[in-house]
Amino acid sequence: MTFSNMYGPTEITVDCTCYHFSAPPPLDCLSVPIGWARNNMELFVRTEEGVVRADRRLEGELLVRGLSVTYGYLGDKKKTNQSYIQNPEHDLYSDLLYCTGDIVRFDEGLCCFYVGRKDNQIKHLGNRIELGEVEAALTSISGVGEAVVLYNGAIVAMISLDEDVAIKLVRHALEKLVPGYMMPETIILMPGFPRTANGKYDRRALAIAIQDDLPVG
């Protein structure tokens, strides 16, 4: 039996990488690679310095080039210019790279690993932190249902819990999973999580919710 992990935003109609494995990952595995570029597709990383490359052990924003990359957003030139760039290697013809907003890294074999979202990466106390890593650590704790982590000058975690689990126990378990600089200053117990029309967490609404008088730890 073969399992496949396929990755690709809608703008790439609809997948550009694939990773095959013959057995399910272990239960304590938080993620699997998104793999290598599919036929007629190329993967690049844009570093913090703005350099677009495809080197081993490189980490940055994933950019995708290939036949299935769309031309942009109909009637929205501003958004198109924000999300697509011309291939920096030439200016001979239109050769668009889609900027996914996803942070990835390449291993020695140029296999691609998903790290997190560009807009979910922060710098706190001199350390670069991917908030998604804190969320993944929280949801791996027994009794934690959902978790969303935001940053407003401090790291704030919002979680849902089984009735017989205390926030103090969650904090104690989390201390064993992440370094001290990644620990939330506040953990808020949420009765529910607002979502967008696409079913994703409404992080803007949650940013407002953390100002309310909710149980914290």
Average pLDDT over residues 5-11: 94
Rounded to an integer, what distance in angstroms lies between the CA atom of residue 161 and that of residue 163? 6
- What confidence tier does 188 reach under pLDDT thresholds 50, 70, 90? very high
Annotate 174-202 with b (16+ C-beta within 10 A) or e (fewer): beeebeeebbbeebbbbeebeeeeeeebb
Cα 66 from Cα 97, distance rounded (Å) = 8
In this model, does residue 94 exceed pLDDT 90?
Answer: yes
What pLDDT is attached to residue 33? Answer: 95
Q: Is the pTM of this model over 0.75?
A: no
Domains in the chain: ranges and CATH: 3-115 (2.30.38.10), 125-209 (3.30.300.30)
The pLDDT of residue 214: 53
Q: What is the pLDDT of residue 4?
A: 93
pLDDT greater than 80 at residue 215: no
Over 80: is that where the pLDDT of 31 sits? Answer: no
* Segment 74-91 mean pLDDT: 96
Summarize the confidence of residues 165-182 as an average pLDDT: 94
pLDDT of residue 41: 96
Q: Which of 4-18, 173-187, 192-206 has the weakest average pLDDT?
A: 192-206
Average pLDDT over residues 53-60: 90
Confidence of residue 217 (pLDDT cuts 50, 70, 90): very low
Q: What is the DSSP string of the chain?
A: --EEEEE--GGGSS--EEEEESSPPPTT------BEEPTTEEEEEE-TT--EE--TT-EEEEEEEETT-----TT-HHHHHHHEEE-TT--SS--EEEEEEEEEEE-TT--EEEEEEGGGEEEETTEEEEHHHHHHHHHTSTTEEEEEEEESSSEEEEEEE-TT--HHHHHHHHHTTS-GGGS-SEEEE-S---B-TTSSB-HHHHHHHTTS---B-
What pLDDT is attached to residue 212?
59
Over 50: is that where the pLDDT of 163 sits? yes
Residue 134 has pLDDT above 80, yes or no: yes
Q: 18, 74 in Cβ contact below 8 A?
A: no
Q: What's the mean pLDDT when you consider all of the chain?
A: 90
Max CA pair span of the chain:
64
Q: Select the more confidently predicted residue: 130 or 80.
A: 80
Tens digits of per-residue pLDDT, 139-162? 999 999 999 999 988 999 999 998
Tell me the C-alpha distance between 101 and 10, whole Å. 13
